[in-house]
Structure 1
Amino acid sequence: SRSRIPALRSVLAAWGGINQAVTHFPGESFGKWFPETFDIVLLDAPCSMESLRPTLTHPLRETTPTERLRLQDRQIQLLISGLSALKVGGELVYATCSLAPEEDEAVINHVLEQYPDIFIVEDVSDKVPFQAPGLTGFDDQSFHPSLKNALRLWPHLTGMSGFFCCRLKKTGSIPAISEVPPARDFSRTQLQPLKPALQKQLYEQVQHNFGLQLDQIIVGSQFQLFQRLESVFLIPTVYCEQFITLPFEYIGMRIGQWVGEQFQPSLEFASRFGHQFTRGKTQLNHAQVAQWVEGRDIRKPETGLTPQGQYLLVTDETGRNLGVGKLLSQRLRNLLP
């Protein structure tokens, strides 16, 4: 749903994700829009979210057979779509935060029966230090024997609320009718390729201020630089080459903005690349960290640097990344969002 997009953007920003485009379309359509296009698909399916280990935000709730079967119908369609969008030889991870068999093994089993010899359930038992196999039967139902290769992450084993996941490998094509995906002229995004002179200026500033060779990262990781107003973005080259007309809610990474002639790095940029900075860093003590994470400035910081309004990566005494600050006379300005 659209209401979950801001939270997703926040997670991607903190994680430092770049190779991503957030859209608001039904997942059931992607298999028809982009058949056999992707190497990997993660299907985090909508589920009843039983919350078997309740918290204040997610209390224990009872689910009904009607609710679980209604969700199962959509989960099956999403799984078929995900497998259709997957290249032969690619992998799909199906996951839910429910341990109801109707939403887990029964979904995989249904698609196995509908499309035999199209995919296999890979054994992932070595990924966890305990035995947590999938079910091969429930009530009067018998499931495909390979579903024992799935994982049931029980609350009493993991200390979490309970999850199901399995990894599928596609071995054959799914018969499908292709459809034309929605389209939007890219010019409507107001994103423009960053001009060569500004690219050079950006590379030089990032190298001088942080010791990071951004140009090599961009070439090696296949990103492209774009600008919208004063903001600068990294966008995956694969989007520009294969999905340029696909409408998105958010794409790539906003790496910072121009403040006059000076480049101000974003939290996303610091989260992704800060561990590679060789200079332009300052460290806070334990008491200062508590102030910093509350969004407060640090008065009279001890940096050993001459304040020139420069942007610095802020860390704690263990080297943990705390975002970006601006060193001014008598204070370190907090630039956390």
Structure 2
Amino acid sequence: MKVEKLKDGKKLTKSMGLILIVMISFFPLTVLGAENNYQMILWKGTENYKIITYDKEGWEKNIGTALEPEDIFGKNSDEEDAESKYTIRAIYESDWSLIDLISSTILGNLVIPIILINYTPTELDKEFSEEYELWYGLQSRWKYTLDEFEYEPDIEAEKHPFIKDPNDFGDILEEYNDLAQELNNTFMPELNGDDFLWYLLISHIGIPDPVEKYLDEMVEILDSKDAEVNSNTITLERSEKEDIIVEVVYTSQGIIESIKFKDTDEDIFYEIQHFNDRWVVYTILGIISVFIIGLTVYAFRRKKNLR
């Protein structure tokens, strides 16, 4: 009898263990740490974004017409209810140069053509040999649309960087400004910390965990005068056609939860919101798993009572 009980207990343990393994397989979470105690916590899977608000008059009044939403967030980002998505397929560690980093931001659209006019690829490798440690998510991206997403992404593979050490932002900015001074080009101006922060925020730069501490250090190292951090939220005051406020909220994974453009009266004239169905799926899986575990326990107990 004791042997049978032992066997039943082992069967129950194996069954529950198998259920737990199946549940864990549905949580594709990657955690990578750095020596400075920051870490990247990122889910492999799909993240969705939606244009919640686009007040064209408010945009033109506060920012003007020289810079449009599509210049920042891509095609159809000037359409309310338009959605985009990206799917993270893999996560890597790497070392990037200044040119690599600039190319991954909106700033790259402005200055990379100027840099390439003045430097050959060989000269770039020699001139910008300093490298910065980071993680990046390799992702496929679908641009904003009001229609159903196509099966194939608009961009098959792009890299979403998370710089490991926030102190590197100071070195990156210094290296960029040295280059701007050397080229002395009107279209590649020197940047202060707030200017650089603006480009980082609107480029969806990834923020390692703990997010608040990282944001605080990034703002401090860039000597930002117009940024403020509160928990996982960073606000940046900026002068365009009028003074505006950019508010970016990050998830615990360090990706953008929402980005809002406001006037000085705190009225929102542009907003993007992040969403996904992951937790709905996980809740359903959790309920099913609890039911299966309960059913398994009941079956074993019933079998035991029938003996």
TM-score (norm 2): 0.20
Q: Tell which has more relative contact order, 1 or 2 (C-alpha 8 A, sep 6+).
A: 2
User: Greater helix percent: which structure?
Assistant: 2
